[in-house]
Chain A
């Protein structure tokens, strides 16, 4: 990349010619505040928090979209810049519903942080506020338009990255709002409940449906045998909320915390992921050998399943007949486990801790209740679990490590890698290999599918079968991959699709990242 010389606040720096002023400033460790900006997702220059003075320009420019050029002179802290940023922020705050004390985003709200960083000491403009209804009819996602700052991140994520387009900006001027088609509740539009909109929302306008009270009630009910299972992606995320480094593996502390909260048993969803992969591997082999519908497509991501139902119904027969791991585990707990332990399944209450908001919707599907009771009663996100632990006054960091409970607390490494993109495919291929040859497959080499970012493919030689597989994460990529299959441009045996970009570790129920 060609480099250009620019000056920011009198610092001379050299940056690639395709940089924006914001990227250049960050390289020079100069902080420019942003609100609507989200790298590669939302680069629209809408909020004007990042305005800077560019020498020769008629007015202040948005650093997040202003391209650098040779000799550019930028000033990020002039009186005009400070004044503009502050007044803009005050105007955003003027009609914001400032119920910060009780807001789910209190202390990790980007707007709150900006108000602090920009030293806003008083709300000078008490403007008219919106009083729009809160949409909480979806089992997964709650929309509160009164807290929305119209940054468009959720819209970009839903439309451009996920290719779902369930929400869009509507109305004009002061009445502008992010809404659905015909202002229907999210539960009545093709929202897939992936919760990626929540992850990118800078404020509390989008949040998961809070089911914590249901769990407290169950835990307090002496008649109920309350079980909990935790998904693989939760254990690597939870620690961050308690001040531990990002990516800390806190499996033992998490199990301890769940025990202290009062769960009768703490199980590992990885166990069920093992079951899933045995089932799915066998199913794949059967379909290949007996001329079944191919490619076999994974069914463990409920966001993807709903996306498939709405957008690609012709692929429904391609989906694996396996339940997702959490549902499989729930079914096992209410049948096998209930029987083994002589507990009436009606008295078993299964809670799942998931990195996912779509799992909430999944658990409410009437068809997923083979025992006559819902396989899973309540799904909590990683965020909700963190809130429960805090509410219970548990000092998470100093908890001792604890093992998952037997008999279902033991799992292979295959289940763990379900949490990341490509993991299910790798585990399935290993299983197929083992069934065929009695030995595990060697390292699997992935190649990017030509011209399609976010989609990878691999082909593995297994006892005379050349197994062709592909992996897509993020529904926009899934759409591209499915269109390719539909057009007859690809003939895979096995396809793994995860609704969230990056897989479950970046699920819509994970902790808010502060990396924007």
Chain B
């Protein structure tokens, strides 16, 4: 295995890609080769770091120096100064948050108050390389589930963890799985709702772009728990990078035998397919989503019967959102109690937010449940541009609450 003295991580999320990060990568590779250090330094295209306002973003390890708003013309200096001579390019460090060049990006205010579980690998690994995912404990949870746990054990862990659906409904995930597990049927299905449609939201897109294997692994775990051997990821076609990386990830998982027949040499088989949404907002609603997967016009159908009883093709089905799934492997590995120790009494764990509008650090953040709106806006978000006063904030999608100044202390949870 080739060892490198330095890694250059370049954000390959949708935001930074649209700001030319692909060109930056090829320029980096060219400059590195030019300097003859291509065997010492590795360039990695990762998922989203979260600080989208400052993109394109590059992080150089081992120092952990984060360079922001990097232009193609800056690459030569980064290679010659930092990678060849070991001198950090101070002018490219984020002015507001990293005060000391010796402090790594992770310790900046933006990251310090975050707790990354669903986003743990985003901006860390190359999402198109399954080996990198495996190196970060990937598929270990699936192995544990298949070899050490019964389906009931899995359901119990998820129930005890207190995990609630991250798509907005906030339904307890473990209870949903238990409903589906208890149904007698010749066929069951596991679906992933990646039809993220709320204006301004890109949490699920970022997970799929940055860490697609976490969703694949979680869906296989869910399949084992409820007794399903087939899964579908319904992802909107407007997320081309996510679709591409998910496709690569599924193929790699199949090649490694982590999807398909007799996974880990057990009796459990599970396959996964992608279904593309054609941009209908309503297809993010679970029954419309299933109707669309079935090949019909995506329109909702009455509940009850609930999907856990009669879902896809009238078979018991569970649908979870991307972010919900991304939490699952960590819960299995670290235990329900670990997860339940994060967050509030009724809302456990963390929540990913896409932060946008009149705020300095627009981007993607993951915070423990119960973090106040004030902390999100002023600490993580870096406040309001030009020192202006806060007027109002909106959470969730269009239909959600609008918070006025008086309730900046409002704690963000899954319980409204």
Which residues of chain A have a CB within 8 Å of any CB of chain B?
A: 44-45, 62, 65-67, 168-169, 172
Residue pair B280, A67 in contact (C-beta under 8 Å): no
B297 touches which of A45, A66, A67, A169 (Cβ 8 Å): A169
Cα separation A168 to B302 with both chains bound (whole Å): 20
Residue pair A45, B302 in contact (C-beta under 8 Å): yes
For the complex formed, measure the closest distance between the CB of A392 and the CB atoms of chain B, giving whole angstroms: 46
A65 touches which of B280, B297, B299, B302 (Cβ 8 Å): B302
Residue pair A67, B301 in contact (C-beta under 8 Å): no
B299-310 vs A, CB cutoff 8 Å, 1 = contact: the mask equals: 101101100000
Residue pair B302, A44 in contact (C-beta under 8 Å): yes
Cα separation A67 to B302 with both chains bound (whole Å): 10
Cα separation A65 to B297 with both chains bound (whole Å): 20
For the complex formed, measure the closest distance between the CB of A90 and the CB atoms of chain B, giving whole angstroms: 20
For the complex formed, measure the closest distance between the CB of B88 and the CB atoms of chain A, giving whole angstroms: 51
Cα separation A62 to B280 with both chains bound (whole Å): 23
9 of the cross-chain contacts (CB-CB < 8 Å) are A44-B302, A45-B301, A45-B302, A65-B302, A66-B304, A67-B305, A168-B297, A169-B299, A172-B280
Cα separation A67 to B297 with both chains bound (whole Å): 24
Cα separation A66 to B306 with both chains bound (whole Å): 12
| Chain B residue at minimal CB-CB distance from A64 | B302
Instruction: For the A-B complex with A45-B302, A62-B302 known, give 12 more contacts whose Cβ atoms are closer than 8 Å.
Output: A44-B301, A44-B302, A45-B301, A65-B302, A66-B302, A66-B304, A67-B304, A67-B305, A168-B297, A169-B297, A169-B299, A172-B280
Interface residues of B in 290-336 (CB under 8 A from A): 297, 299, 301-302, 304-305
A67 — which chain B residues lie within 8 A by C-beta?
Answer: 304-305
Cα separation A41 to B39 with both chains bound (whole Å): 70
- Residue picked from A44, A66, A168, A172, most chain B C-beta under 10 Å: A172
For the complex formed, measure the closest distance between the CB of A242 and the CB atoms of chain B, giving whole angstroms: 40
Number of B interface residues at 8 Å Cβ cutoff, please give it.
7
- Residue picked from B301, B302, B304, most chain A C-beta under 10 Å: B302
| Chain A residue at minimal CB-CB distance from B298 | A172
Cα separation A62 to B304 with both chains bound (whole Å): 11
Cα separation A504 to B414 with both chains bound (whole Å): 58
Cα separation A67 to B304 with both chains bound (whole Å): 7
Cα separation A317 to B221 with both chains bound (whole Å): 59
B301 — which chain A residues lie within 8 A by C-beta?
Answer: 44-45
For the complex formed, measure the closest distance between the CB of A184 and the CB atoms of chain B, giving whole angstroms: 19
Cα separation A30 to B280 with both chains bound (whole Å): 38
For the complex formed, measure the closest distance between the CB of B274 and the CB atoms of chain A, giving whole angstroms: 22
Cα separation A67 to B303 with both chains bound (whole Å): 9
For the complex formed, measure the closest distance between the CB of B291 and the CB atoms of chain A, giving whole angstroms: 11
| Chain A residue at minimal CB-CB distance from B280 | A172
B86-104 vs A, CB cutoff 8 Å, 1 = contact: the mask equals: 0000000000000000000
For the complex formed, measure the closest distance between the CB of A441 and the CB atoms of chain B, giving whole angstroms: 46
For the complex formed, measure the closest distance between the CB of B175 and the CB atoms of chain A, giving whole angstroms: 15
Main secondary structure of the interface of B (DSSP, over half): loop
A62 — which chain B residues lie within 8 A by C-beta?
Answer: 302
Interface residues of B in 4-33 (CB under 8 A from A): none
For the complex formed, measure the closest distance between the CB of B301 and the CB atoms of chain A, giving whole angstroms: 7
| Chain B residue at minimal CB-CB distance from A69 | B304
A172 — which chain B residues lie within 8 A by C-beta?
Answer: 280
| Chain B residue at minimal CB-CB distance from A45 | B302
Cα separation A98 to B196 with both chains bound (whole Å): 38
For the complex formed, measure the closest distance between the CB of A48 and the CB atoms of chain B, giving whole angstroms: 11
Cα separation A67 to B280 with both chains bound (whole Å): 28
B280 — which chain A residues lie within 8 A by C-beta?
Answer: 172
For the complex formed, measure the closest distance between the CB of B306 and the CB atoms of chain A, giving whole angstroms: 11
Cα separation A327 to B320 with both chains bound (whole Å): 61
B304 — which chain A residues lie within 8 A by C-beta?
Answer: 66-67
A66 — which chain B residues lie within 8 A by C-beta?
Answer: 302, 304
| Chain B residue at minimal CB-CB distance from A170 | B297
For the complex formed, measure the closest distance between the CB of B266 and the CB atoms of chain A, giving whole angstroms: 38
Cα separation A278 to B297 with both chains bound (whole Å): 49
Cα separation A66 to B304 with both chains bound (whole Å): 7
For the complex formed, measure the closest distance between the CB of B283 and the CB atoms of chain A, giving whole angstroms: 10
Cα separation A44 to B297 with both chains bound (whole Å): 14
B338-379 vs A, CB cutoff 8 Å, 1 = contact: the mask equals: 000000000000000000000000000000000000000000
Cα separation A172 to B280 with both chains bound (whole Å): 8
A65 — which chain B residues lie within 8 A by C-beta?
Answer: 302
Cα separation A226 to B379 with both chains bound (whole Å): 90
| Chain A residue at minimal CB-CB distance from B297 | A169
Cα separation A62 to B301 with both chains bound (whole Å): 11
B305 — which chain A residues lie within 8 A by C-beta?
Answer: 67
Cα separation A44 to B296 with both chains bound (whole Å): 14
For the complex formed, measure the closest distance between the CB of B308 and the CB atoms of chain A, giving whole angstroms: 15
For the complex formed, measure the closest distance between the CB of B299 and the CB atoms of chain A, giving whole angstroms: 8
A45 — which chain B residues lie within 8 A by C-beta?
Answer: 301-302
A44 — which chain B residues lie within 8 A by C-beta?
Answer: 301-302
Cα separation A169 to B297 with both chains bound (whole Å): 8
Cα separation A172 to B297 with both chains bound (whole Å): 10
A169 — which chain B residues lie within 8 A by C-beta?
Answer: 297, 299
For the complex formed, measure the closest distance between the CB of B170 and the CB atoms of chain A, giving whole angstroms: 11
Cα separation A62 to B297 with both chains bound (whole Å): 21
Cα separation A168 to B297 with both chains bound (whole Å): 10
B250-289 vs A, CB cutoff 8 Å, 1 = contact: the mask equals: 0000000000000000000000000000001000000000
| Chain A residue at minimal CB-CB distance from B282 | A172
| Chain B residue at minimal CB-CB distance from A168 | B297
For the complex formed, measure the closest distance between the CB of B59 and the CB atoms of chain A, giving whole angstroms: 41
Cα separation A469 to B302 with both chains bound (whole Å): 41
Cα separation A35 to B305 with both chains bound (whole Å): 22
B302 — which chain A residues lie within 8 A by C-beta?
Answer: 44-45, 62, 65-66
B104-133 vs A, CB cutoff 8 Å, 1 = contact: the mask equals: 000000000000000000000000000000
| Chain A residue at minimal CB-CB distance from B302 | A65
Cα separation A266 to B302 with both chains bound (whole Å): 52
Cα separation A285 to B36 with both chains bound (whole Å): 97
Cα separation A172 to B302 with both chains bound (whole Å): 20
Query: Which 5 pairs across A and B sit closest by C-beta, in order of nearness?
Result: A65-B302, A45-B302, A172-B280, A67-B304, A169-B297
For the complex formed, measure the closest distance between the CB of B155 and the CB atoms of chain A, giving whole angstroms: 24
Cα separation A65 to B302 with both chains bound (whole Å): 7
For the complex formed, measure the closest distance between the CB of A49 and the CB atoms of chain B, giving whole angstroms: 14
Cα separation A433 to B280 with both chains bound (whole Å): 62
Cα separation A466 to B67 with both chains bound (whole Å): 92
Cα separation A65 to B301 with both chains bound (whole Å): 9
Cα separation A62 to B305 with both chains bound (whole Å): 13
Cα separation A45 to B304 with both chains bound (whole Å): 12
| Chain B residue at minimal CB-CB distance from A20 | B302
For the complex formed, measure the closest distance between the CB of B347 and the CB atoms of chain A, giving whole angstroms: 18
Cα separation A169 to B305 with both chains bound (whole Å): 24
Cα separation A62 to B300 with both chains bound (whole Å): 13
Cα separation A62 to B302 with both chains bound (whole Å): 8
Cα separation A168 to B299 with both chains bound (whole Å): 13
For the complex formed, measure the closest distance between the CB of B288 and the CB atoms of chain A, giving whole angstroms: 12
For the complex formed, measure the closest distance between the CB of A210 and the CB atoms of chain B, giving whole angstroms: 32
For the complex formed, measure the closest distance between the CB of B9 and the CB atoms of chain A, giving whole angstroms: 40
For the complex formed, measure the closest distance between the CB of B238 and the CB atoms of chain A, giving whole angstroms: 15
A168 — which chain B residues lie within 8 A by C-beta?
Answer: 297
| Chain B residue at minimal CB-CB distance from A65 | B302
Cα separation A62 to B299 with both chains bound (whole Å): 16
B297 — which chain A residues lie within 8 A by C-beta?
Answer: 168-169
For the complex formed, measure the closest distance between the CB of B290 and the CB atoms of chain A, giving whole angstroms: 15
B299 — which chain A residues lie within 8 A by C-beta?
Answer: 169
